[in-house]
Amino acid sequence: MTDELNVDYSIKIPNNVGLSEDRQVLRALESWHPGYLNWWRDMGPEGFQDSLVYLRTAVSVDPQGWAKFDYVRMPDYRWGVLLAPKEDGRKVNFGEHLGEPAWQDVPGEYRAMLRRLIVIQGDTEPASVEQQRHLGKTAPSLYDMRNLFQVNVEEGRHLWAMVYLLQKYFGRDGREEAEQLLQRRSGDADKPRMLGAFNEATPDWLSFFMFTFFTDRDGKMQLESLAQSGFDPLSRTCRFMLTEEAHHMFVGESGVGRTIERTAQAMREAGVDDPSDIAKTRALGVVDLPTIQKKLNLHYSLTLDLFGSEVSTNSANFFNSGLKGRFRESKLGDDHRLTGGSYPVLKLVDGAITLVDEPALTALNMRLRDDYSQDCAKGVERWNRILEKAGNGFRLQLPHVAFNRSIGQFKDIHADPHGEILSDRQWTKAKDDYLPSPEDGDFIVSLMKSETRPGKFASWIAPPKAGIDNKPGDFEYVKIESS
């Protein structure tokens, strides 16, 4: 630990923000760093801290070649501060300040709101590392183990990204928030993480893949909106984070895709034609398709809650003040002020799920959630193509947005995945048909056998089409015993 305390941060922390000349921020990061490393050792991947992992490290922000791959022990990963390059003449692109030069400093009147946005985003980053810390031990292959650790170190870097903003632009309260980000713990009764989905357990690899597909995609939507921010340092930070986020969603989409592929293959080989024959499918050592659908239902509905209430004055304020835009705001062809417009919102009206026009400004959460659902639907289509190609008749689908919600319009009702409203009794009876039951969970966990021989894969998942960094199939992505 001691040499980690004495490193020359201005060299050891890869950064393109001139940290070595920014003494005050450098000092703040220096005093935060040991606590971060303690957090990483306590709450990061369990059991593999001394293994050599074939990881990519960001070395520049040039989209063509920002990463270099090499074996690294995770605690030695070079977590850095990297912002997308400054765009000359960038303006505030929406809201009341439309057309003004983008802010290089925090506008005083928006200080509290902006800090809140950054802290909420920041809190999700370490949370997912905590949720996923046990998974290394049951990795279905070294390839998958490496991808898990890659996602984990990058979520760690995203925390650094938010902490840099807090420490550079928010003085003492920024430093206090940075400390708090290391204190909260996912799922902890006393000091939980800030958002619901980040306090759920990630008990198995299918959950991990669903999480990176659905919940990291919420991350993408939030980052896309914050990348539009009139506060330029936040925008630049998020733009670079999005390049990393793309890999996380690849891990999720391909992970679920390979699970489906393997199931369909095993069913075909064994002549199991009926996807609802769960017992026969499970006997093949793969996850049956109805259970995959239930996992999908769970992760999609949990993630929808992250978008907050459909109608929200907070999100209107974030937009009006130029802090948080819409998904790809600068590509949208309207007035970017939304003062007169409306947007259709799905609401509960007299006990019925009804589409109602709401002022566009207060419906921004709904709009971002719709953009998110469309993005998810495309991925689900690609999964269905795998089934189609395998000659399997089963199709996955996104459940209705009223299904299994804890926030917003539908939090007080029960609905089935088609959006039919159910009584409490009907729900209790049918729930296990829609969401993973304890038995489903036990079955999936029973499949989670660690496979650590290079090039080998656990029974329930197909190998990937290509290796990471073009490595061959039997490449040793993690050297587990390497002290």
Binding site for Fe ion (CB under 5 A): 125, 155, 158, 216, 219, 245, 248
SS3 69: strand
In the bound complex, what is the minimum distance in angstroms from residue 219's beta carbon to Fe ion? 5
Q: Which amino acid is at 387?
A: L
Q: Which is nearer to Fe ion, 95 or 252 (CB)?
A: 252
In the bound complex, what is the minimum distance in angstroms from residue 160's beta carbon to Fe ion? 11
In the bound complex, what is the minimum distance in angstroms from residue 151's beta carbon to Fe ion? 6
In the bound complex, what is the minimum distance in angstroms from residue 235's beta carbon to Fe ion? 16
Q: Which is nearer to Fe ion, 245 or 416 (CB)?
A: 245
Q: Which is nearer to Fe ion, 155 or 288 (CB)?
A: 155
Q: Which is nearer to Fe ion, 56 or 248 (CB)?
A: 248
Q: Across-strand partners of 479?
A: 52
Q: What is the spatial distance between Cα 412 and Cα 455, in angstroms, rounded to a whole number? A: 48
Q: Which long-range contacts (CB under 8 A, 24 or more apart) does 437-443 make?
A: 440/291, 440/294, 441/203, 441/204, 443/282, 443/287, 443/291
Q: Cα torsion for 34, 38, 43, 45, to the nearest 10°?
A: 90
Measured from the Cβ of residue 440, the count of other Cβ atoms closer than 10 Å reads 19
Q: Which is nearer to Fe ion, 245 or 261 (CB)?
A: 245
Q: What is the spatial distance between Cα 109 and Cα 420, in angstroms, rounded to a whole number? A: 45
Q: Which is nearer to Fe ion, 103 or 213 (CB)?
A: 213
Q: Which is nearer to Fe ion, 216 or 310 (CB)?
A: 216
Q: Which is nearer to Fe ion, 305 or 451 (CB)?
A: 305
SS3 103: strand
* Nearest Cα to Cα of residue 212 among 186, 244, 187, 166: 244
In the bound complex, what is the minimum distance in angstroms from residue 8's beta carbon to Fe ion? 27
DSSP letter (8 states) at residue 231: B
DSSP 401-436: TTTT-SSSTTTTSEE-TTS-EE-HHHHHHHHHHHS-
Q: What is the spatial distance between Cα 72 and Cα 67, in angstroms, rounded to a whole number? A: 14
In the bound complex, what is the minimum distance in angstroms from residue 440's beta carbon to Fe ion? 26
Q: Cα torsion for 155, 156, 160, 161, to the nearest 10°?
A: -10
